[in-house]
Structure 1
């Protein structure tokens, strides 16, 4: 996530493809960091974990 934040800060990103299981980020914290780094950029969020509940976007 740290490297991605550097690229997002430079701009020119059209979309963020985000894995919630990154080694240097975890769960919703990763989503919040991506939003803070590029608030206007759409995000697609993926996870390989089995979720116990689903949230509406």
Structure 2
């Protein structure tokens, strides 16, 4: 799965092991929420588009 575009127009992959079935950005475009087939919600810090990281819970 590709993540948000960086200023140069390229995309980065999120490290996921199960198919993502939904995703949404917050209004400010910084955190990204994804959900998958196991009904797990993950939050991602995408402020550095070259290195998206899952946020700790």
TM-score scaled by length of structure 1: 0.25
Identify the structure with the greater helix proportion.
Answer: 1
TM-score scaled by length of structure 2: 0.25
Q: Which has the higher contact order (CA 8 A, sep 6+)?
A: 1
Larger radius of gyration: 1
Identify the structure with the greater strand proportion.
Answer: 2
